[in-house]
Chain A
Amino acid sequence: MNETSRGSKWIGQSVERLEDPPLVTGRGRFAADINFPRQLHMRMVRSNHAHGKIISVDASAARALPGVVAVWTAQDIADVPPVDFREGPIEKLAPYRQPVLATGTVRYVGDPVAAVFAEDPYVAEDAADLVTMEIEELPPLLDARHAPGEFSPGRNTEADLLRQGYGDVEAAFRDAPHIVELELTCGRHSGVPLETRGALGRYDASRDVLELHGAAKVPHRNKELIARMLKRPPSSVAVYESHVGGGFGIRGELYPEDVLVCVGALRLGRPVKWIEDRREHLIAANHSRNQHHKIRAAVANDGEILAIDDVIHHDNGAYVRTHATRVAMMTCGVLPGPYRVPQAYRAICHFRLTNKTPAATYRAPGRYETTFVRERLVDAIAHQLKLDPIEVRRRNAVTVKEMPFKRPLEALGEEIHFDSGDYHALLDKLMDYVKWDELNASLAQRRANGEMVGVGLAMFVEKAGLGPADGVRIQVDTSGFVEVITGGASLGQGFETVMGQVAAETLGADYNKMRVVHGQTDRIEYGIGAHASRATVMTASATREAALKVRAKALDMAAELMQAPIDTLDIVNGEVVCRDRPGGPSISLGQIAAKLSNTSKALGGREPGLSGEGWFFTEHQVYPYGDHMAVVKVDPATGGVKVERYIIAYDIGRAINPMLVKGQISGGFAQGLGGALLEEFTYNERGDPLATTFADYLLPTVRETPDVEILLTEDYPSPLNPLGIKGAGESGVNGVGGAIAGAIDNAIGIPGAVTELPVTPQKLKAIIDANKR
């Protein structure tokens, strides 16, 4: 189904980004840059208690402050329902949704209790300071492994119990020659975009349209959700995405604050602006990753993993937010990764609530965690059976002959079908690239000289391009500029560039004459936004379909105007030319657009406009794959870890823009490194968050982040879309925890030493010292 590449001009080129000019000249428009006349400023009053009963909230002093327009608590918006799930109502989980303002109970430090609306942000902040609340403290639940507590009368904090699996697990373990067991923990961390959240609500009474500005990621979903929650027709709600200083899955979901600016705008009759501060962001925006796995594998003598049995405790924080149980369910489905696991598999996930910030998706949700767990398991198998860890991986990895490979597990509601790939061949390429034997010999030599250096490997399969459908409209204006109207979203990943490249290539237009629209729900009535590494697979494929239609229409009109058979024509750089007459007559796309105007006499029976709409449908996600390799040096005196080298091999199917793909991979790696060594949302025993500033929540800086060596291959284009695209967004982060854990074990010479992330210097030093004794 793949097109033979006909000497592509734009696809596959590392062209400069279409979206950069305003950004690099300081003329971008981020949420805080948006202002409306007469706007009010909102400030949240948040709980300082991890768990407690709200006895009273006193806002009288705040209301009395000059410049304060309103202070709301839960009673003031009793008719507004809790924030609903993105994919629609789920009856079982409904009681666990987060109210827009805490109702009766506060469940985490940061839980919104009141909202202040004032003439300026300074007054709003001063007034919020004056709101007092009386809270009767309840014991906080801070560990998902502890016995569930009461969430509300008759309901405990285990909101769901999820299962995936196949085969007879008990039989597989009964008959297995070896059983390897591990307990592993992935720490609580998250995507921390440098632009905090922000939202502006505005009600335009003249058109009866409620507008939400600033949110990115899933504008069309948020529009539907707001309409549903506020009981408005969806056609009377519009969501507008601004420039975005990072998203990573956590920014752009619908949060209580987004709903509040909308309700504020409707009821106070003035636009409402809210800009989050950093402390708020670190305690209120979605956390992620916090899971405990008790996993065992049934293993044959040759290292083949026959069966896996995993019990997971997933700490989802205080409420179930828009994603519902998506991360936990994904965890259960994707854990086996590239390995066959032929006999049986069972994952049971206790999806539990605690008195911490609610958790949801963060770049590579369920995959960062499971790659860490799975690759730790493989290393443990190799150690226990005295086998080479690379050989164990080769023995278990699905082979190219088995493709497409179906597994009776699901990810995002679809059965997992690996579409294509050769995991062994990519591993071979990586081994050749790093000169594996030489690398190991040099590390062994350094270890003999007393250095603690080591190498670790993680294999993984990503998933991308969730369907089922996306549509794009393309219209060419009379100057020849091409408007590509999508319902996608740009989180900074180069969305405009990629759509522009595909449209220019397919249409035969000039890449520099592309105008790509995204995140504006009033420009197109549908859209998938930007999540789950979907944009390039789905929206670019739809862009291609639309461009093909426009191309056909342009050629049809040109054939008539140029008096030439259609099959002798081509479109080159925005000009229709006769293929075999270089320097001959030509007509530009702009001229054709003019001839196709609604008043044109040349129209004939055609529909007006040089425009077309294209849809792309798919039944299955695509499964790109790769390997991460880390070389680390450990300082035994401090427990500090320095990553000396990091190599990522990744088969992307087809890279529309290799520069952007490498950028995605490098950025993802930095985030994975944070989760492996630095970043953690810690709490004390009272449930007070301890990482509330950038001095406590340690994002890796350029000094801690080595250059990533990227081995990007295009050996297995996906058969599931015409361009062979597989998605890039989450490949850089996926395997970092797994690879670094293995490298640290190897460096300190203690197999299985790393059982939790992040590996802090203090913890690592304790491991090294305990081993000495």
Chain B
Amino acid sequence: MKPAPFSYYAPKTIEEAVSLLARVAPDDGRVLAGGQSLVPTMAFRLARPRHLVDINGVSGLDRLETADGRLCIGARVRHAAFERPVDPGPLGALLSQVVRHIAHHPIRTRGTFCGSIAHADPASEWCAVAAALDAEMVARSTRGERAITAHDFFKGIMTTALAEDELLIEVRLPTLRAGVRTGFAEFNRRAGDFAVAMAVVVYRLQDGAIADARIAVGGAEAAPRRIEQAEYALKGRAPSAEAFAVAAEAASRALDPIEDQQNTAAYRRDVARAMVIRALSEAA
């Protein structure tokens, strides 16, 4: 096989999965969900997990429903599930807009929402959405269950607050009231590629002025996050090109962009600024 040798487990229940994980995680055990990030890196033998706990047969992880003002997304829900709105309000519309930017259709039919969150690639669209909306991540282990907010969850490049024996069983997003405006913009070399930078914006209008603005930037830094300085810059202002430019400038100044072989920090900052403007203009 292309990957290095590993042991494979196919638990049927969450309890079984977490107890397996408790056992194999210390010995380089990993969770296999959609496999769209892990399997290619295993094929290159860049990742060489010794154990794989496949959760695709675990019952109770395919939940996708709204309850108590929150959209609950189970660990087996695929990206493609969001292509048609899963919620009648602005949240469903935002998610179905964003999902079109995630890779390509075959990948979207296999890759999972929670898998993207747990993998925490800086350029993940779902991670940026989770940051913008202050999502709640539900982690389960043999030690119990806990909820972690996005702010505490994303720690850095492919680094999260999940302990090695914890399984991300669900992500919860707050639904958005009718009339809430949303916008999303990203820039990449090709459709479906990892973005150089992206922005997710959410706000509502109160007497013609912007209120409760949320502006998250993804792809530019080690982890996606809300940029308070940009949100503050919009507070109480009417939507306008000038206001958006001010907010975008504030965002770009607040960023500490990552640098790689393809993109310098300065370029990422410039692109992030442009994406904030575009996302805001789209929401207006």
Please tell me if A122 contacts chain B, counting CB pairs below 8 Å: yes
Whether B1 pairs with A122 at a CB distance below 8 angstroms is yes
Whether A765 pairs with B267 at a CB distance below 8 angstroms is yes
Whether B191 pairs with A703 at a CB distance below 8 angstroms is yes
Please tell me if B241 contacts chain A, counting CB pairs below 8 Å: no
Q: How far is the CB of A36 from chain B (nearest CB, A)?
A: 22
- In whole angstroms, how far apart are the Cα atoms of A693 and B40 in the complex? 10
On whether A129 and B45 interact (CB within 8 A), knowing A690-B261, A695-B193, A704-B190, the answer reads yes
B135-163: which have CB < 8 Å to A? none
Whether A700 pairs with B190 at a CB distance below 8 angstroms is yes
**In the assembled complex, which residues on chain A have CB atoms less than 8 Å from the CB atom of B8?**
none
On whether A678 and B261 interact (CB within 8 A), knowing A122-B1, A637-B274, A638-B271, the answer reads no
**In the assembled complex, which residues on chain A have CB atoms less than 8 Å from the CB atom of B277?**
637
- In whole angstroms, how far apart are the Cα atoms of A639 and B262 in the complex? 14
0 or 1 for each of B26-47: is its CB under 8 Å from A? (1 = yes): 0000000000000010011100
Please tell me if B69 contacts chain A, counting CB pairs below 8 Å: no
Whether A277 pairs with B190 at a CB distance below 8 angstroms is no
Whether A703 pairs with B274 at a CB distance below 8 angstroms is no
Whether B274 pairs with A638 at a CB distance below 8 angstroms is yes
Whether A637 pairs with B192 at a CB distance below 8 angstroms is no
Whether A698 pairs with B261 at a CB distance below 8 angstroms is no
Please tell me if A701 contacts chain B, counting CB pairs below 8 Å: yes
Q: How far is the CB of B218 from chain A (nearest CB, A)?
A: 15
**In the assembled complex, which residues on chain B have CB atoms less than 8 Å from the CB atom of A695?**
193-194
**In the assembled complex, which residues on chain A have CB atoms less than 8 Å from the CB atom of B270?**
637-638, 765
- In whole angstroms, how far apart are the Cα atoms of A695 and B262 in the complex? 12
**In the assembled complex, which residues on chain A have CB atoms less than 8 Å from the CB atom of B263?**
762
- In whole angstroms, how far apart are the Cα atoms of A638 and B194 in the complex? 15
0 or 1 for each of A739-762: is its CB under 8 Å from B? (1 = yes): 000000000000000000000111
Whether B191 pairs with A704 at a CB distance below 8 angstroms is yes
- In whole angstroms, how far apart are the Cα atoms of A228 and B192 in the complex? 48
Please tell me if B4 contacts chain A, counting CB pairs below 8 Å: yes
- In whole angstroms, how far apart are the Cα atoms of A700 and B190 in the complex? 7
- In whole angstroms, how far apart are the Cα atoms of A700 and B193 in the complex? 11
0 or 1 for each of A238-281: is its CB under 8 Å from B? (1 = yes): 00000000000000000000000000000000000000010100
Q: How many chain A residues touch B (Cβ–Cβ < 8 Å)?
A: 26
Whether A678 pairs with B2 at a CB distance below 8 angstroms is no
B256-284: which have CB < 8 Å to A? 261-264, 267, 270-271, 273-274, 277
Quick one: closest A residue to B273, CB to CB? A637
Please tell me if A181 contacts chain B, counting CB pairs below 8 Å: no
**In the assembled complex, which residues on chain A have CB atoms less than 8 Å from the CB atom of B189?**
678, 698, 760-761
Q: How far is the CB of B95 from chain A (nearest CB, A)?
A: 21
Quick one: closest B residue to A703, CB to CB? B191
- Point out the residue from A129, A678, A693, A765 that lies within 8 Å of B190, measured CB to CB: A678
- In whole angstroms, how far apart are the Cα atoms of A701 and B277 in the complex? 27
Whether A698 pairs with B193 at a CB distance below 8 angstroms is yes
Quick one: closest A residue to B44, CB to CB? A279
**In the assembled complex, which residues on chain B have CB atoms less than 8 Å from the CB atom of A704?**
190-191
Please tell me if A125 contacts chain B, counting CB pairs below 8 Å: yes
**In the assembled complex, which residues on chain B have CB atoms less than 8 Å from the CB atom of A684?**
261
- Point out the residue from B4, B187, B262 that lies within 8 Å of A640, measured CB to CB: B187
Please tell me if B5 contacts chain A, counting CB pairs below 8 Å: yes
Whether A125 pairs with B1 at a CB distance below 8 angstroms is yes
Please tell me if A126 contacts chain B, counting CB pairs below 8 Å: yes
- Point out the residue from B2, B187, B271 that lies within 8 Å of A277, measured CB to CB: B2
Q: How many chain B residues touch A (Cβ–Cβ < 8 Å)?
A: 26
Q: How far is the CB of A74 from chain B (nearest CB, A)?
A: 24
Quick one: closest B residue to A122, CB to CB? B1
Whether A701 pairs with B1 at a CB distance below 8 angstroms is no
Please tell me if A682 contacts chain B, counting CB pairs below 8 Å: yes
Quick one: closest B residue to A690, CB to CB? B261
Quick one: closest A residue to B278, CB to CB? A637
B1-22: which have CB < 8 Å to A? 1-2, 4-5
- Point out the residue from B45, B192, B194 that lies within 8 Å of A701, measured CB to CB: B192
0 or 1 for each of A419-436: is its CB under 8 Å from B? (1 = yes): 000000000000000000
- In whole angstroms, how far apart are the Cα atoms of A463 and B267 in the complex? 42
Quick one: closest B residue to A123, CB to CB? B1
Whether B187 pairs with A638 at a CB distance below 8 angstroms is yes
Quick one: closest A residue to B5, CB to CB? A126
Q: How far is the CB of B164 from chain A (nearest CB, A)?
A: 25
**In the assembled complex, which residues on chain B have CB atoms less than 8 Å from the CB atom of A122?**
1
Quick one: closest A residue to B45, CB to CB? A129
A714-773: which have CB < 8 Å to B? 760-762, 765-766
Q: How far is the CB of A721 from chain B (nearest CB, A)?
A: 41
**In the assembled complex, which residues on chain B have CB atoms less than 8 Å from the CB atom of A765?**
267, 270
**In the assembled complex, which residues on chain B have CB atoms less than 8 Å from the CB atom of A703?**
190-192
Whether B190 pairs with A701 at a CB distance below 8 angstroms is yes
- In whole angstroms, how far apart are the Cα atoms of A684 and B267 in the complex? 19
Q: Which of A637, A690, A698, A701 has the most CB of B within 10 A?
A: A637
Q: How far is the CB of B149 from chain A (nearest CB, A)?
A: 30
Whether A129 pairs with B261 at a CB distance below 8 angstroms is no
Whether A762 pairs with B262 at a CB distance below 8 angstroms is yes
On whether A693 and B264 interact (CB within 8 A), knowing A126-B4, A638-B274, A703-B190, the answer reads no
A685-712: which have CB < 8 Å to B? 690, 693, 695, 698, 700-701, 703-704
0 or 1 for each of B191-231: is its CB under 8 Å from A? (1 = yes): 11110100000000000000000000000000000000000
- In whole angstroms, how far apart are the Cα atoms of A573 and B110 in the complex? 52
**In the assembled complex, which residues on chain B have CB atoms less than 8 Å from the CB atom of A682?**
261
Q: Which of B2, B187, B191, B267 has the most CB of A within 10 A?
A: B267
* A–B pairs, 23, beta carbons within 8 Å: A125-B2, A129-B45, A279-B44, A637-B270, A637-B274, A638-B271, A678-B189, A682-B261, A690-B261, A693-B44, A695-B193, A698-B189, A698-B190, A698-B193, A704-B190, A760-B189, A761-B187, A761-B189, A762-B263, A762-B264, A762-B267, A765-B270, A766-B267
Across the A-B interface, give the 8 residue pairs with the lowest CB-CB distance, nearest first: A637-B274, A703-B191, A762-B267, A122-B1, A638-B187, A690-B261, A638-B271, A698-B189
List B residues at the A interface (Cβ < 8 Å): 1-2, 4-5, 40, 43-45, 187, 189-194, 196, 261-264, 267, 270-271, 273-274, 277
Q: What 4 additional pairs, Cβ within 8 angstroms, besides A122-B1, A638-B271?
A: A678-B190, A698-B190, A765-B267, A766-B267
